[in-house]
Amino acid sequence: MVSRASEHVWSIEQVVALAHTSTRFGAGEGLAVPSLWSHTGASARAVWGRYHGSGAEPYEVAADHITVRDRCTCPSRVRPCKHVLGLLVMWVRGFVSNVDEPPAVASWIDRELKRLAPGDDAPTAIDGPTDGPTGGASSDGGGGESTSGAEPGDRPTPPAPNPDDPDASRNERIERLIGGLVELDRWLEDRLRTGLSDPSIARFSTWDQLANRLVDARAGSLANRVRRLAGRVGASPDWHEHVLAEMGILHLIAQAGQRVPSLSSDLADAVAVTCGWQVRKADVEASAPETDRWLVAGRSDTREDLVEVRRVWLRGLERGNWAMALSFAAYRQSLDTSLEVGSVLHADLHRYPGSTQRVIVGDIHGVDSAVDGHGPASAIATTVEGACAEVGRVLALEPWLDRVPVTLVASPTVGPGGWVLTDHTGSLVVAHEAASRGDTLAALLAASAGAAVTITVEWTSAGVVPLAVFLGDRTIDIGPRADASFVGAA
């Protein structure tokens, strides 16, 4: 261990207080590894160094530990950023030696001092005011000494967060989310700079490390998306195209997420929820209900990160809005079976903030059983051309959606590239995964006998996935089902 750089080194408690929260301190402490740093040094006034992360260029980091100000070339909007906290932790623990200030650090300190009005050279929060007393009283209650003439040996006490601030928790979550999205964008830039032929792309650890950082930033939905994307690398001859397209969507979300504070409320909510912002169920249920007669138009089960996810799509017969009810099941748990495909509910639905899809089913005032779903479904069905327009309108509002439902009248047939749903206005390709499931395709062909039928599908970037066929006397649920050996009995 290197000897301490200065007799004026802070205590670790001061760094913790500067971080405001244990989470932010933990993120900084994780970077306090000497092998990740170079050109470190400290003086009676400042501490500085270069942090070597995943980017091509190191970050230049410096902190004035007297007036408590910082500088870092990273793109994070959070101050102090984790690189500053990591550097301070290394300084506190004696891993930074005492050397002369380099010209760049000395000139930065001079510029900062000139920005301070006479008498204002007092300990302050990094890039902000302290929460301590003003008017010349010392922050530690030490007898009313003036701090305006602070000597280099004085040890400033960084401010603690204000527990009475009702917005403190939300602001902290936003800062944490934005910090994770900045890292995501930088990671994407690095991947594009090195190219998709880089061998590291084929290693799951490359993606898993990014996903873990997003989990730390409370962006769990994006973390799951990154892990699913990792599974597409090398999965098909044209995997480069699919991975690049998904990376473009991730970049879009990262850019939108960094602008959450300035977006309109509905769009900001939609972006935050897409990133993984958790909304309490009670808050959703307390929102104004959307009452309609809802046709249960289709069901789709998928496996995501060792959890079975069931999407049940509902279509309002009066207003024409789509809604999605989600349920989840871990190993040997049961998925919700209360919504029968083809039935019609007179019910109140509560939408998640900013979402055009996800809802919670509230009070159900009545249910028409799924004996004849053909009538209600025919009332909302469209052509292939209309289906494309409908999907386009939804994606224009939320381009990051990977599944969009639509009900149309079309015939299943074989096209040049495989199975398609077709009518006089055009054709929609059936996703290869859906076409390769014998039960789905066989049920579709048997129900339609090659003729036009009313059918609900999920649009995905790989093609459409058939979910339900509506006939004159019955509704047939043909959507993908959860593995019976994984989920428990309903």
Q: What CA–CA distances, in Å, run from 261 to 170, 172, 174, 177?
A: 11, 12, 8, 11
Check residue 17 and give its pLDDT.
Answer: 83
Parts of the chain with a pLDDT under 50:
1-6, 117-166, 490
pLDDT tens figures, 323-358: 999 998 887 788 888 999 999 999 999 998 877 789
CA distance 389 to 371: 30
pTM across the whole model: 0.65
For 361-409, the pLDDT digits (tens) are 999 999 887 665 567 888 889 999 999 999 999 999 888 898 999 999 9
Strands 475-477 and 463-470: antiparallel
CA pair distance 306, 309, nearest whole angstrom: 10
- Note the Cα 373 to chain centre separation in Å: 37
* Ramachandran angles phi, psi of 359, nearest 5°: -140, 170
Sheet with 475-477, strands from edge to edge, namely 426-429, 418-423, 404-415, 453-460, 463-470, 475-477
Total residues found in the chain within this entry: 490
Is residue 299 within 8 Å of residue 467, measured between CB atoms? yes
Q: In this predicted structure, what is the pLDDT of residue 142?
A: 36
Helix/strand/coil for 455: strand
Taking the C-alpha atoms of residue 459 and residue 421, their distance in angstroms, rounded to an integer, is 12
The pLDDT, as a whole number, for residue 433 is 84
Q: What local confidence, expressed as pLDDT, does residue 119 receive?
A: 46
- Helix/strand number for the chain, H first, E second: 14, 15
Give the pLDDT confidence of 76-101 residue by residue, as tens digits: 777 888 899 999 999 998 889 888 88
The CA–CA distances, whole Å, from 303 to 16, 308, 322, 431, 463 equal 41, 5, 23, 17, 18
Which two three-digit tokens encode residue 264? 């309109």
Q: Which long-range contacts (CB under 8 A, 24 or more apart) does 235-240 make?
A: 240/196
Could you give the CA distance from residue 180 to residue 254 in angstroms, rounded to a whole number?
9
Q: Which of 269, 276, 287, 271 is nearest to 349 (CA)?
A: 287
Three-state DSSP class for 116?
Answer: coil
Distances (CA, A) of 458 to 325, 455, 468: 14, 10, 10
Provide the pLDDT for residue 27.
Answer: 84
290 class by beta-carbon count within 10 Å (0-12 exposed, 13-18 middle, 19+ buried)? middle
Burial of 182 (0-12, 13-18, 19+ CB in 10 A): buried
d(CA 376, CA 296): 10
